[in-house]
């Protein structure tokens, strides 16, 4: 039986040049985990509006349960204006307030956390006190707690990031975000040493840093492993890191080696980067099948 993974945080609509795409980092991770045949429960909050109702419909179409989704009668469903840079990288304008700023700690959500094997949470959904309290309360000690350091200016608070790091067992971020961590916490300049020091200082078991065309580094069990990644014709990088994290977490729960984890995570991330939006239809539905995933569209 698959491990049960609880993903909590923002769900929103990305307004891209190609149209509106449902997204939000924890939602994207949950969708990719479900596509990889993992048992996933997603917790967020949407408005009682057209986009909110469409969010729930699309969740059901993707095989995601909606029973723990919350509906807000005053705040709107999350919405983001996304401008793509020349290399396909996104520049976000995240509108506020949004319904996902008010995720509440209901009894069913707490009960689900007690029975989950892993929790995925990020920093963006903690921009508001309400959702931050809920997320940090869900970091139960028996869970594998996975912190996705998704820094989105102007919603960047070093204190919140530090609290989230101290709760985490696994930390994942991109190279720009990791440079912020190096500055904030006086970590060494050399990445291998910096990941080891971060892991030791917060007591986590794994630190993964992605760096686009330079690949990714994974510190785990005292060793830092690098994978160069796969070259692709990038359409946009929206959601590529979320796909990477979903494959990484699936492999971690399976007990795979660091090289295998990085190989499979890179393939799914590259597949997404070569296609529009964060959630292109993927032909692989198990972790093992990712090794045969076609990359360029």
Q: Is 297 a member of any domain?
A: no
Q: Is 11 a member of any domain?
A: yes
Q: Is pLDDT of 104 > 70?
A: yes
The pLDDT of residue 1 is: 42
pTM for the whole structure: 0.95
Q: How far apart are CA 112 and CA 119, in angstroms?
A: 10
Q: How many domains does the chain divide into? A: 1
**Residue of 158, 255, 251, 168 whose CA lies nearest to 206:** 168
Q: Is 131 a member of any domain?
A: yes
Q: What is the mean pLDDT of residues 11-26?
A: 90
Q: Is 213 a member of any domain?
A: yes
Tell me how long the chain is: 297
Q: Long-range contacts: 196-199, Cβ < 8 Å, 24+?
A: 196/222, 196/224, 198/165, 198/171, 199/171
The pLDDT of residue 88 is: 66
Q: Is 185 a member of any domain?
A: yes
187's tokens: 């970590």
Over residues 237-247, the pLDDT tens digits come to 889 999 999 99
Of 165-174, 221-230, 262-271, 272-281, the range with the lowest mean pLDDT is 272-281
Q: Is 140 a member of any domain?
A: yes
Domain that holds residue 174: 4-292
For residue 90, name the pLDDT band (cuts at 50, 70, 90): confident
CATH number (domain holding residue 213):
3.40.1190.20
């Amino acid at each position: 039986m698959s491990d049960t993974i609880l993903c909590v945080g923002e769900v929103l609509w990305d307004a891209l040049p190609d149209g509106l795409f449902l997204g939000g980092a924890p939602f994207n991770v949950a969708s990719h985990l479900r596509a990889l045949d993992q048992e996933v429960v997603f917790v967020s909050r949407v408005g009682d509006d057209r986009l909110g109702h469409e969010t729930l419909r699309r969740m059901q179409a993707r095989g995601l349960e909606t029973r723990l989704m919350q509906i807000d009668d005053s705040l709107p469903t999350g919405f983001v204006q996304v401008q793509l840079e020349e290399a396909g990288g996104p520049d976000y304008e995240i509108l506020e307030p949004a319904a996902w700023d008010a995720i509440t700690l209901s009894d069913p959500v707490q009960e689900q956390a007690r029975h989950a094997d892993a929790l995925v949470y990020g920093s963006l959904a903690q921009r508001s006190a309400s959702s931050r309290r809920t997320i940090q309360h869900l970091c139960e000690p028996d869970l594998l707690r996975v912190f996705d350091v998704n820094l989105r200016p102007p919603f960047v608070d070093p204190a919140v990031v530090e609290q989230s790091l101290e709760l985490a067992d696994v930390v994942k971020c991109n190279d720009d975000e990791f440079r912020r961590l190096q500055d904030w916490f006086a970590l060494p300049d050399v990445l291998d040493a910096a990941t080891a020091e971060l892991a030791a200082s917060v007591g986590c078991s794994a630190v993964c840093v992605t760096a686009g065309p330079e690949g990714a580094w994974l510190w785990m069990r005292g060793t830092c492993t690098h994978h160069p990644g796969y070259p692709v014709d990038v359409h946009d990088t929206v959601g590529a890191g979320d796909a990477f994290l979903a494959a990484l977490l699936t492999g971690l729960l399976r007990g795979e080696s660091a090289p295998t984890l990085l190989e499979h995570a890179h393939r799914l991330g590259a597949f997404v980067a070569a296609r529009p939006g964060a959630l292109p239809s993927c032909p692989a539905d198990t972790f093992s099948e990712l090794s045969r995933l076609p990359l360029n569209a």
